[in-house]
Every structure is written in structure tokens, then in C-alpha cells.
Amino acid sequence: MTHDEIRATVLRVLGEIAPEADLAALRDDVDLREQLDLDSMDVLNFVVGIHGALGVEVPEADYPRFTTLAGGVEYLAARRAGGAPA
């Protein structure tokens, strides 16, 4: 799976959580929770959605890796390539 495909999957999962959001306007390097006004329940649902879509179980300790979209995509790419949770 390419970076772009992972990014598209992340955006789709985010779209299910924040259906009103304009995902095209999402900035890769700005805090995701702030951009989308996500609360802890949204974050949990996001991690559940990512697990369902990509089979990657994100431990709580790794949540900060998803501060930005770019960081999250990079993290998921590394995990899918066989990297252990950091």
C-alpha cells in the first residue's frame, strides 16, 4: 500500500468521524484534533476505524504520532512495513 493510499484511508476514516469537515482543506502539518475539533471519543473511534481498515493496532502510547496528518500517515506506513510500535 502506498503512502497516498494510506493517506486516502486515513481521510476516509476521519470523514466518518467528522462528516461535516472539508477534508480537502485539511492541512498535513497542523494539529488534527484542532482542525477537526476531535474529542477523546472521536480519537478512540479513529483508532478503531484505522484498525478495521488497515489492521494496525495503535497503542495509546503512540497516539501523539497522529498529532498531524503527515505524521500519522508516516507512522502507519512504517507499522505496515513491519515496524514495531515506537
Partner 1 sequence: MPILGADMTAGTLIAWRVRPGDAVRRGDILAEVETDKGLIDVEAFVSGVVEKLLVGAGATVPTGTVLALIREEAGAPALAPPARRKISPLARRLAGELGVDLATVTGTAADGAITSEDVARAAAPARGRVDLARMRQTIGTAMARSKREIPHYYLATTIDLARALAWLAEENSRRPVIERLLLGVLFIKAVALALGEVPELNAVWKGDRPARSAAVHVGVAVSLRQGGLVAPALHDADRRGLGDLMRGFRDLVQRARTGGLRSSELSDPTITVTSLGDQGVETVFGIVYPPQVAIVGFGRVVERPWVVEGRVVPRPLVTATLSADHRVSDGHRGGRFLAALDRLLQQPERLG
Minimum CB separation of residue 28 from partner 1 in Å reads: 22
Per CB under 8 A, the list member of 24, 25, 60, 64 interacting with partner 1 is 60
Comparison of 2 and 19: residue with beta carbon closer to partner 1: 19
Choice between 6 and 58, CB closer to partner 1: 58
Q: 63, exposed or middle or buried, with CB in 10 Å at 0-12, 13-18, 19+?
A: middle
What are φ and ψ of residue 83, in 5° steps?
A: -70, 140
Query: Could you tell me how many residues of this chain bind partner 1 (CB under 8 A)?
Result: 19
12: number of Cβ within 10 Å: 12
Residues between 13 and 52 that touch partner 1 (CB under 8 A)? 18-20, 33, 37-41, 44-45, 47-48, 51
Nearest to 55 by CA among 3, 2, 6: 6
